[in-house]
Structure 1
Amino acid sequence: MLSIRTSIPLALLLLSGCVVGPDHKAPEIQLPAKFAEGGKTSNGDVSTVAWWNAFNDSRLNGYVTTGLAQNLSVLQALERINQAEASVVVAGAGALPSLTTQGQHTTSGRKGSLPTADSNVTNSSAGSLNISWLLDLFGQYRRAKESANANLDAAYASADVAKLSLLSSLVSAYIDARYYQERLAIARQNLSSRRETLDLTKLQLEAGAASRLDVVQSEGLVNSTLAEIPGLETNFRRAAHRVATLLGMPASSLVVELQRGARQPVARSIPKTGIPADLIRNRPDVRAAERSLAAAVAQIGVAEAQLYPSIELGGTITPSYSRISGGSRGSSNSWSFGPSLVLPILDGGRLRANVDIANSSAREQYLVWKQTVLTAVEEVENALAAINRDQRTASALRATVNSYNEALSLSTASYRDGASSLLDVLDAQRSVSSAQASLAQAVQQTAQDYVALSVAIGGGYAIGATPAKPAM
């Protein structure tokens, strides 16, 4: 038979290995084997794929490198990792012994006019050493630390989300800047062509081969082109300002640099989409949602542990020393040690309600995770459908521009020879201008959909960086 002195520590040891609450299991969801317009082959880890290199634009590549290093949203997300790491320490500290010490010194005496008013000066010094240890019998602090570790994982994933968002916003803003530059080039080219037509019409008016109406119509087309240019310049500057802000720079820092111009970005390839199941691994927002779910599940154990008794071991050692001026001196030491038991009996249902709240929160986080996965699948499907069709649109518009350019050449030559009216030339110019603008917009949209698809599959956020190890 075990004695009481032996059985009590043994029972405490056994209870210390008890952890209440459910263990987290990776959530599951039914997904299709492939995307509607994708293949059936997994694309593995795409987090280190620099998909923007497909645009073959060295300036854009430099902006991406700078943005990943100094974008303010990314830096804020990295600071939240530091906060989560400190929270892990805080969560685990409750299960460890606590030791505090304090000391004090007082000097006292008394003087007065009465014979009995005077007393000797007394110097007293005292200190105390306090130790306490709350035994984690039902895993409250172990579950709390488990939750904090899961939140730390979520913080790492959220930092990756911030990087992915930066890539999307930065490359998209750069594409917009180049689009408006292309539109400006088209407008200026059209302005030059329409001024030539106006000059020709004035000459023909002097020769009696044209009317004042022809001149006014030509002037109207020139002025409408002039009116279009300021709005395009404004939109270019807005895009340039956006690029600079994303790089953590004042808005106007890159306007002059971007005004040097470059062609519209055109991707040389279409990224491999992989299969829907890849998104659970590659999308950082999906991983963040799963880790938030794990943290919520651990909080159920924290709430359940509070339903059970808690035992705290505590002790105090208090030494003191006193010295009376001109008199005696001496010391005194006291100590105490013993356990304290807290047993919840009546709390108005508060502790049980906390368990219900924790369970509901975990169910909510599962629904958040599921919604995040389905939204990711939708984003890939949308981008894939768009990019496959955008290329056909751009190809048709290129042919349209060529046809209208030829029609403009023919109508202009015919007008010079007097075989056709000015209206034919003006209509041809309008058709060319409209087709060129549509083509520039189609090239822009194709590039934007390439960005959307690359971001939707979770690509590029870990480029040039060693992936951070999640907390265990």
Structure 2
Amino acid sequence: MTGCAVGPNYKPPENTVSEHWVTEGDSSEPVQNDWWESFHDPLLSKYIHEARQHNNDVLTAMSNILQARALRQIEASAFYPQLSALVNATKTYFSKNGPVFSLSTPETSGLPYAVQVPQIQNLFNFLFDASWEIDIFGKTRRKVQAAEAVIGRTIAQKDDILISVFAELARTYMELCAVRERKEIIKENISLLESKSCLIRLQYRLGYVNRIDDESVQAAAFAERAKLPPLESEMYHHIYTISVLIGKPPEALLEELLLYKPLPPLPEKVAVGLRSDLLRRRPDIRKAERELAGATAQIGVAIAQFFPTFSLTGDGGLQSLSIGSLFSPKSLTYAFGGGLNAPIFQGWQYLGNLHARRAEEAAKFTAYAGTVLQALQEAESALMAYNKDLKSLSDTQLETKHQKEATYLVGERNIKGLVSALEVFNAKLQLSGVQLSLLDHELKTRIDLISLYKALGGGWQSS
């Protein structure tokens, strides 16, 4: 039995976000949900799958969803009658000086004879008790709506954690690959500098160069060697991070990830979808929207407190002084009735609660609007950064191409005796510096692409 539900009915905020991006994207096709597959790296895809199944933050979020659903079930239980059973047996020894015997005398009872009361009395009960609060003004319905909003919030929170974990794992994986490539380039630099040092020492003994040249080359070689230990430490740190993200001990992936593996290739094009779709894809926006829905439902709960509550109660069963006659028809007992509980004055407690709930709804609406703007800012910035990275990467690739050609020409001239071997070493070392710069741009482009996928809200749908 229900009536009207007091308080405002929730309406989701209107989507006023434009469909068009400020920054041009590769394609307005829907965002790829399993965006990590665009890198065509089976190992990365494997780790993403394991993180979805075993990451501790994700598992905690899943438990929070189960808890929210259980709390919703608790709130919904008020829709139904509450029924309980009472089965007991008591044995009572009455005091001769107590009220039972005092009231049984002619002087106190007003009867011409004394009432015979046994001093020891047994009582057996087999009773049922029922009560039901009728949700006439919708307080229970609004509480259930608020609990359902909490379920939606916890689901969105889980999705947000998934996106963050996937992005962090992919970013760490890219950084690990870049560190391994950087380590190989530096090792090659050290080898070049050692060969150059041998050549300079030979020329020094022949009197063609002075000692300063030899010392400078050796100093450069030691400077390169000094870069290796921090890179080793950084490499292990990334491996440990990936292991923990997929729910394993830090050392679990050492054998697998210490092997050299180049950076995964970039996708040919990146679909960014419509800008207005952010409100549907981004879990943080859905989380803020569910919080607004819950705050709106709590206003209805606060308003319902001003109205009376109606309840039906009843109990019945069997009661007897002897267990042998407990189940006879004469042992039947029951009582039923109804009640109304109307608030009159609580020191403005309910009014203050209503004002607090309305203020909370206003705050949640403002927070929702702020979350939408923040999402737009992150997505536009990430798209702009990625587009500029592609331009910068293209220029650096051309620089590397021309530097390789220049190094080749220096080698050809050396073969013809037009330049010295030192010129060849210098050209190769200069090429190495350009390759390190290219590696930095390659890494930055991939990290900014991962940030773009995260800002677009992709990843949680695949789960």
Query: TM-score range with shorter-chain normalisation?
Result: 0.7 to 0.9
Aligned match of 1:75:
59
Aligned match of 2:44:
60
2:298 aligned with 1:294, yes or no? no
Q: Distance in 1 between the 2:308 and 2:27 partners?
A: 54
User: What's the secondary structure of 2:129's corresponding residue?
Assistant: strand
Aligned match of 2:113:
none
Q: Distance in 1 between the 2:278 and 2:401 partners?
A: 42
User: What's the secondary structure of 1:362's corresponding residue?
Assistant: helix
Aligned length: 437
Aligned match of 1:4:
none
CA deviations 1:10-55 (Å, max 9, x no partner) are: xxx6xx32110111111025323411123698644x4x63211221
Instruction: Determine if contact 2:25/2:270 at 8 Å carries over to the other structure.
Output: no
The offset of 1:414, in angstroms, is: 8.0
2:7 aligned with 1:21, yes or no? yes
The offset of 1:256, in angstroms, is: 2.0
Aligned match of 2:228:
229
Structure 1 residues 237 and 20, CA gap change in structure 2 (3 angstroms): same
Q: Distance in 1 between the 2:410 and 2:24 partners?
A: 46
The offset of 1:383, in angstroms, is: 1.2
Instruction: Determine if contact 1:98/1:131 at 8 Å carries over to the other structure.
Output: yes
User: What's the secondary structure of 1:277's corresponding residue?
Assistant: helix
Aligned match of 1:97:
81
CA deviations 1:177-228 (Å, max 9, x no partner) are: 1111111111111111111111111222222222221111111011000001
Q: Distance in 2 between the 1:50 and 1:348 partners?
A: 57
Instruction: Determine if contact 2:143/2:301 at 8 Å carries over to the other structure.
Output: yes
The offset of 1:381, in angstroms, is: 0.8
Instruction: Determine if contact 1:125/1:321 at 8 Å carries over to the other structure.
Output: yes
Instruction: Determine if contact 2:192/2:429 at 8 Å carries over to the other structure.
Output: no
Instruction: Determine if contact 2:153/2:286 at 8 Å carries over to the other structure.
Output: yes
Aligned match of 1:30:
16
Whichever residue aligns with residue 102 of structure 1, its letter is L
User: What's the secondary structure of 2:275's corresponding residue?
Assistant: coil
Instruction: Determine if contact 1:41/1:275 at 8 Å carries over to the other structure.
Output: no
Q: Distance in 1 between the 2:42 and 2:227 partners?
A: 30
2:34 aligned with 1:50, yes or no? yes
Structure 1 residues 145 and 396, CA gap change in structure 2 (3 angstroms): same
User: What's the secondary structure of 2:321's corresponding residue?
Assistant: strand
Instruction: Determine if contact 1:91/1:148 at 8 Å carries over to the other structure.
Output: yes
Whichever residue aligns with residue 181 of structure 2, its letter is E
TM-score where L is the length of structure 2 = 0.86
Aligned match of 2:70:
86
User: What's the secondary structure of 1:143's corresponding residue?
Assistant: helix
Q: Distance in 2 between the 1:347 and 1:220 partners?
A: 83
Q: How does 1:43-442 map to 2 (within 5 A)?
A: 43-44=29-30, 46=31, 49-107=33-91, 123-317=122-316, 319-323=318-322, 332-405=331-404, 428=427, 431-442=430-441
Q: Distance in 2 between the 1:89 and 1:378 partners?
A: 39
Unmatched 5+ residue regions in structure 2?
A: 95-117
Instruction: Determine if contact 1:129/1:317 at 8 Å carries over to the other structure.
Output: yes
Instruction: Determine if contact 1:21/1:301 at 8 Å carries over to the other structure.
Output: yes
CA deviations 1:217-246 (Å, max 9, x no partner) are: 111011000001111111111111111111
Whichever residue aligns with residue 73 of structure 1, its letter is D
Structure 1 residues 407 and 197, CA gap change in structure 2 (3 angstroms): farther
User: What's the secondary structure of 2:360's corresponding residue?
Assistant: helix
Whichever residue aligns with residue 239 of structure 1, its letter is H
The offset of 1:305, in angstroms, is: 0.4
User: What's the secondary structure of 2:226's corresponding residue?
Assistant: helix
Structure 1 residues 324 and 76, CA gap change in structure 2 (3 angstroms): closer
Q: Distance in 2 between the 1:265 and 1:291 partners?
A: 38
Instruction: Determine if contact 1:164/1:461 at 8 Å carries over to the other structure.
Output: yes
The offset of 1:318, in angstroms, is: 5.4
Whichever residue aligns with residue 204 of structure 2, its letter is L
Whichever residue aligns with residue 87 of structure 2, its letter is G
Structure 1 residues 307 and 255, CA gap change in structure 2 (3 angstroms): same
Whichever residue aligns with residue 317 of structure 1, its letter is G
Structure 1 residues 66 and 311, CA gap change in structure 2 (3 angstroms): same
Q: Distance in 1 between the 2:460 and 2:376 partners?
A: 19
Aligned match of 2:101:
none
Instruction: Determine if contact 1:120/1:324 at 8 Å carries over to the other structure.
Output: no
The offset of 1:123, in angstroms, is: 4.1
